Structures are given as C-alpha cells and as structure tokens.
C-alpha cells in the first residue's frame, strides 16, 4: 500500500471514529429509543399550574405543601394532613421555608387539632384555579405561585408514609436548588 493510500485510510478512519457516535446518537434520539431519567418521585405537571400574581399574593410567603379538602375529611385526607404536619420535623433547618396549607371552599367541618402545623386557607378562586389536579392530592407550590408536582394520598398508613418520603425527597431537592423562597 502506498503512503498516499495509507494516509487517506487513516484520515477516513479518524473521521469515522468521531462521526459514527454522533450519527448514532442522533438516530437514537430521532427514533425515541432513549427515555431520559426522571429524578422526581411525584407526578410532574407539564406545564405547571400558574396561580398568577394576584392569587399568589394571598398565600403566605415561601414554599407550600397543600391539600384541597372538602367537608368530610376521610381517612385518605387525614393521612395526607398528618404527612404534611410531619414535614416540620423532617425538614429540620429548612422547615421555616415551607408552610403546609389545607385549602377549602368554606370553613372546615373537621378539627385540625391533631395537625397543628397545617394552616387552613379558605379561597374559592385558588381552588378553582387548581381544578386540574386530581382530588385528594398533596401538591407543592413554589414561591412564584407554580404548582409543579403532586402526590396521591392513601388511607393506608404504610402507603402514605412511603408517599410522604417521596414528597420529602422532592421537596428537599427543590429547596436545595432553589434561589427563591
């Protein structure tokens, strides 16, 4: 083999060594064979529900973990309220950044004595704005008024405890990465 042919073969080999992985990656992405990993454990709302400046101004400052309750708070609702109440202890030094809220259209018919950290919040407009959420869901509201993640509630204590750990994990990540609130 002549030196010209050797140098051409080497050049083609080098070009292919760099071009083939790029072409392969483009093909895999175009064919939707790659599904990116998600680190959140809750259900992501895409796009997030935006409360807007007026509705967000009615809420206390900071991050919120909330639940929409109706007049009869069953076992599912009670377990969700209990999980929200425990966030204060679980978050440690970050607990002052998060306020647990229970939204309702009217005055609550049940007592929040067992969950003293959870604040009742009566506002029909906010509840109407959050109507896209499934019922009895815990959800996270950021300081800018975006509802981005929601979590199911369970009547079973063990299932609710596992879901509360998921919420806590996501909330810690958000608080760590957040520059607001």
The angle formed by the CA atoms of residues 117, 160 and 59, to the nearest 5 degrees, is: 35
Task: Name beta bridge partners: 122.
Answer: 104
Tokens of 165: 């750990």
Same domain, 19 and 107: no
Same domain, 25 and 48: no
| Three-state SS sequence of 34-94 | CCCCCCCCCEEEEEEEECHHHHHHHCCCCEEEEEECCCCCCHHHHHHHHHHHHHHHHHHHH
Same domain, 57 and 29: no
Tokens of 111: 């007592």
**Which phi and psi angles does 103 have, rounded to 5°?**
-90, 140
C-beta separation of 105 from 125 below 8 A: no
The 10s digit of each residue's pLDDT in 46-103 is 889 999 899 889 999 999 999 988 777 788 888 888 898 898 889 888 888 999 998 8
Same domain, 87 and 18: no
Host domain of residue 101: 43-177
pTM over 0.85: no
Res. 168: pLDDT tops 90:
yes
Same domain, 23 and 50: no
Same domain, 147 and 77: yes
Q: How many structural domains does the chain have?
A: 2
Residue 181: what pLDDT?
Answer: 64
Same domain, 140 and 92: yes
Whole-angstrom distance between the N-terminal and C-terminal Cα of the chain? 70
Taking the C-alpha atoms of residue 136 and residue 121, their distance in angstroms, rounded to an integer, is 16
Task: Name beta bridge partners: 150.
Answer: 43, 139
Same domain, 49 and 122: yes
Same domain, 132 and 55: yes
Same domain, 73 and 152: yes
The 10s digit of each residue's pLDDT in 123-153 is 888 888 888 888 889 999 999 999 999 999 9
Give the whole-number percent of the chain exceeding pLDDT 70: 97
Residue 37: what pLDDT?
Answer: 66
Same domain, 13 and 49: no
Give the pLDDT mean for 109-118. 79
Same domain, 81 and 164: yes
Structural Rg of the chain based on CA atoms: 24
SS3 category, 179: coil
């Amino acid at each position: 083999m002549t030196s010209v042919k050797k140098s051409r073969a080497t050049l083609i080999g080098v070009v292919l060594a760099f071009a083939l992985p790029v072409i392969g990656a483009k093909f895999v992405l175009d064919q939707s064979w790659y599904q990116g990993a998600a680190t959140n454990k809750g259900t992501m709302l895409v796009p997030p529900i935006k409360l807007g400046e007026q509705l967000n101004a009615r809420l206390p400052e900071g991050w919120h973990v909330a639940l929409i309750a109706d007049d009869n708070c069953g076992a599912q609702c009670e377990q969700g309220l209990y999980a929200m109440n425990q966030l204060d202890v679980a978050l440690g030094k970050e607990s002052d950044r998060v306020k647990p809220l229970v939204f309702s259209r009217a005055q609550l018919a049940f007592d929040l004595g067992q969950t003293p950290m959870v604040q009742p919040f009566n506002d029909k407009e906010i509840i109407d704005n959050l109507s896209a959420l499934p019922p009895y869901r815990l959800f996270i509201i950021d300081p800018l008024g975006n509802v981005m993640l929601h979590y199911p509630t369970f009547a079973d204590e063990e299932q609710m405890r596992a879901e509360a750990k998921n919420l806590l994990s996501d909330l810690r990540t958000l608080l760590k990465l957040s520059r607001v609130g």
